[in-house]
Amino acid sequence: MTPRTGCEERPSQGAVFLLPKFGCSKEIKLKTKTSMDERILAIAALVAEDMGYNIVRVRVQGGKRSVVQIMAERLSDGLMNVNDCAQLSRALSSTFEVEDPIDSAYVLEVSSPGLDRPLTDLKHFELYAGGLARLELDRFVEGRKRFRGILAGVTKNENGDNVAIDLDKENETALIPFAWISEAKLLITDAMIQKGQSTKTSQKPKPSKKSPKKGDT
């Protein structure tokens, strides 16, 4: 399987390169840490998309037996249940046997992003607007790299995409260039836990109503 790596340059003050199917190069960096992670992502992203999933993050943990950790979500609603994980895991296992991206023995783990999920796609910052998040930048801004606040969506200007965030103890909404973000994740709040419980309840299958049999009281 050959990864799609063709790029199209989008004019702006700083050149931004878009990789078809995988989003921009910045999104790839948010989803991976090493060249091995990127190799796995290039293969897994194609398989996942064909099945209706999006790869959120890839991490290959070393050791006597490597562990390939893949977080994924449904493209339709951003959720991921046990059956989804099992189906994607089987498909990826079959593909990896052919592509052989890792020379040594490894264990594949497919999971949902969880409540305190990583934010690795630009669309995540729009989708989870209103949520509490922590951002880490690849450079110092006003003497620090880490920022915490309520996500307020995404904006665009001549310099590219910006993540809007209402920072703690700040009166004005800050605009942080998406290209500066090296890591981002949601932080768990009581409201998030309640929303998660409500979602699980709504997904439970409703018991079927059976007609009473003769002799039943």
Domain of 43?
8-111
The reply to whether 80 and 141 lie within a common domain is no
Pick 51 or 7 by higher pLDDT.
51
> What is the DSSP annotation of 77-104?
TS---HHHHHHHHHHHHHHHHHH---SS
* pLDDT computed for residue 161 by the predictor: 96
Residue 214 lies in a domain: no
Q: What is the value of pTM for the model shown?
A: 0.77
The reply to whether 126 and 85 lie within a common domain is no
Residue 213 has pLDDT above 60, yes or no: no
The reply to whether 90 and 15 lie within a common domain is yes
The reply to whether 58 and 140 lie within a common domain is no
Domain harbouring 132, CATH code: 2.30.30.180
* pLDDT computed for residue 203 by the predictor: 54
Number of folded domains in the chain? 2
3-state secondary structure 153-177: EEEEECCEEEEEEEECCCCCCEEEE
Supply 200's token pair.
């699980």
| Segment 148-198, tens digit of pLDDT | 999 999 999 998 999 999 999 899 999 999 999 999 999 998 888 877 666
Mean pLDDT of the chain: 84
Q: In a 3-state reduction of DSSP, which class is residue 56?
A: strand
Residue 217 lies in a domain: no
The reply to whether 39 and 106 lie within a common domain is yes
Q: In a 3-state reduction of DSSP, which class is residue 208?
A: coil
Calculate ∠ Cα 156-28-120, nearest 5°: 65
Task: Look at residues 133, 172, 126, 175 and name the one whose alpha carbon lies nearest to residue 150.
Answer: 133
Domain harbouring 91, CATH code: 3.30.300.70
Question: What is the length of the chain?
Answer: 217
